[in-house]
């Protein structure tokens, strides 16, 4: 291929995989050039309308002209203008003014670049949360049904990744749900806490607007309130520098990065369970797990979630560094960083939630494999039950404990040294000492008696914690929530 062909190919420029491969259409649009610059124009329209309402020499014809061109942006002309002026906002002011000759004199009247830049960012952040929250609710819904379905199925619990007391498959899912509920609360709070920057002027003092209204501070305050309402916000930040505080970005990315840690933990658990062959994520009939090993069913979706979640978790550090290094009323070293960080955080959050929803919609459980793993470990865990039964039958606890200890070590050697099954139960059955309780052994070794209140905990948790949250998203879920609690 010639160099000229490469240069002209649509594949010759770098394109972020988050946009081309992973994220949803609605999230990509939220951070698109079209959405950004049409929002700038809407903000100029809001400003003109409010200034006209408060008595400045702006006509309805000028406003109507601006409204007629709110979305038809000449990107080529704007790029050419920005190349000449080295200023993105003024480039778009000029291009918009060329399209709206009557309104050109009053576009951006009294405003600074951050009027459109920061206010648009706040609108986009809020819309990003509006996209993510229903997706998170759908994951909660799917996992709640999964927890309910498997609330009674015993499985090995693990501490230090070593077999511990039994739990249930459904109870383990509630641990995932618990963390996701915290993320839902954090994302919702971050969304609801967002305010509008409003019309604050170059360093946040509103001096330019005070001059426009001949020193009438009440009109300036009303202008701020009017534009804030037009943009769909209840409140604006009462004080700003040239920008809104970059701590706002920190709060947003804290919530998103925390979501990343939750999804990484959930999908790591699924990957471990898939390795044990206890659970599989969905796997299409034509899907290839490995180019070299046709038999493999790699947990690729969970791996993708972990991969992108790790990236997401790092992004909050950029927001922290930016907030920490803003000098006085602002420095421009935040701009390039935020263009990358904010969009990638929301696109990454979008990807992991969509992928996790897909995983939870089709997760497959293998009860027979789980039961086999329990059989390997339960005899050791049941030794205390056997001792107590023997004591009730008249035996001596210390004698019984010593016999169980010896038999357990023999059985453990069979497992670890020779790779054989755990035969502790068979050894107990063959030892005459345990004859008084042989008819109780099956009940003493019933896995269902080792899970405590796990099934009841699942029901209580879904009723008291999960269901009330899901009720806030009725109509936004991909299907109605029927947990049959």
Q: Indicate which residues carry an active-site annotation.
A: 160, 290
Tell me the H-state helices in 325-396: 335-361, 367-381, 383-392
Q: Distance from CA of residue 419 to its chain's centroid? A: 42
Computed over its alpha carbons, how large is the radius of gyration of the chain? 31
Helix (H) / strand (E) element for 112: namely none
Here the tokens at position 436 are: 């008084």
Local structure of 430: helix, strand or coil: helix
Alpha-carbon span 405 to 12, nearest angstrom: 69
Alpha-carbon span 349 to 479, nearest angstrom: 22
Helix (H) / strand (E) element for 365: namely strand 364-365
Q: Distance from CA of residue 429 to its chain's centroid? A: 52
What is the torsional sign of CA 459, 465, 470, 472? positive
Here the tokens at position 401 are: 């404990």
Alpha-carbon span 10 to 12, nearest angstrom: 6
Strand partners, 154: 168
Tell me how far CA of residue 5 lies from CA of 1, 11, 12, in angstroms. Answer: 6, 10, 9
Task: Give, as one character, the DSSP assignment of residue 158.
Answer: E
Q: Distance from CA of residue 343 to its chain's centroid? A: 14
Alpha-carbon span 26 to 228, nearest angstrom: 24
Alpha-carbon span 140 to 149, nearest angstrom: 14
Backbone angles phi, psi at 439, to 5 degrees: -75, -10
Residue pair 309/267 in contact by the 8 Å Cβ criterion:
yes
Alpha-carbon span 394 to 437, nearest angstrom: 10
């Amino acid at each position: 291929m010639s160099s000229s062909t490469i240069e002209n190919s649509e594949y010759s420029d770098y394109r972020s995989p988050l946009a081309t491969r992973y994220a949803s259409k609605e999230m990509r649009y939220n951070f698109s050039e079209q959405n950004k610059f049409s929002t700038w124009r809407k903000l100029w329209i809001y400003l003109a309308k409010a200034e006209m309402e408060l008595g400045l020499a702006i006509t309805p014809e000028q406003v109507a002209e601006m409204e007629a061109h709110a979305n038809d942006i000449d990107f080529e002309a704007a790029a050419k203008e920005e190349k000449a002026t080295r200023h993105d906002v003024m480039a778009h002011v000029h291009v918009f003014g060329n399209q709206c000759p009557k309104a050109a004199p009053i576009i951006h009247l009294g405003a600074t670049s951050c009027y459109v830049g920061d206010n648009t960012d706040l609108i986009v952040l809020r819309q990003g949360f509006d996209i993510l929250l229903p997706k998170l609710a759908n994951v909660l819904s799917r996992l709640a049904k999964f927890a309910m379905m498997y609330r009674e199925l015993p499985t090995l619990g693990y501490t230090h990744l070593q077999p511990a007391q039994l739990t249930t498959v459904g109870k383990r899912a509630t641990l995932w749900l618990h963390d996701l509920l915290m993320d839902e609360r954090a994302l919702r709070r971050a969304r609801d806490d967002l305010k509008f920057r409003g019309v604050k002027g170059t360093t946040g003092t509103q001096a330019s607007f005070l001059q426009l209204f001949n020193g009438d501070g009440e009109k300036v305050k009303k202008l701020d309130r009017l534009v804030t309402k037009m943009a769909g916000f209840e409140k604006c930040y009462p004080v700003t520098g040239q920008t809104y505080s970059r701590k706002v970005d920190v709060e947003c990315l804290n919530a998103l990065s925390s979501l990343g840690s939750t999804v990484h933990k959930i999908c790591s658990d699924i990957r471990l369970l898939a390795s044990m062959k206890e659970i599989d994520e969905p796997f299409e009939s034509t899907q290839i797990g490995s180019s070299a090993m046709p038999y493999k069913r790699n947990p690729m979706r969970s791996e993708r979630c972990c991969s992108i979640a790790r990236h997401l978790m790092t992004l909050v550090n950029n927001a922290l560094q930016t907030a920490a290094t803003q000098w006085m009323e602002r420095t421009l070293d935040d701009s390039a960083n935020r263009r990358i960080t904010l969009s990638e955080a929301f696109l990454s959050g979008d990807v992991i939630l969509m992928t996790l929803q897909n995983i939870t919609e089709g997760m497959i459980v293998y009860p027979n494999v789980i039961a086999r793993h329990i059989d390997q470990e339960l005899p050791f865990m049941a030794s205390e039950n056997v001792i107590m039964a023997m004591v009730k039958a008249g035996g001596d606890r210390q004698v019984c404990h010593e016999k169980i200890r010896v038999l357990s070590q023999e059985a453990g050697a069979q497992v670890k040294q020779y790779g054989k099954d755990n035969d502790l139960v068979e050894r107990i059955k063959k030892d005459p000492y345990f004859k008084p309780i042989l008819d109780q052994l099956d009940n003493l070794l019933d896995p269902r008696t080792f899970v405590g209140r796990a099934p009841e905990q699942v029901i209580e948790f879904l009723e008291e914690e999960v269901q009330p949250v899901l009720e806030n998203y009725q109509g936004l879920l991909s299907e109605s929530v029927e947990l049959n609690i």
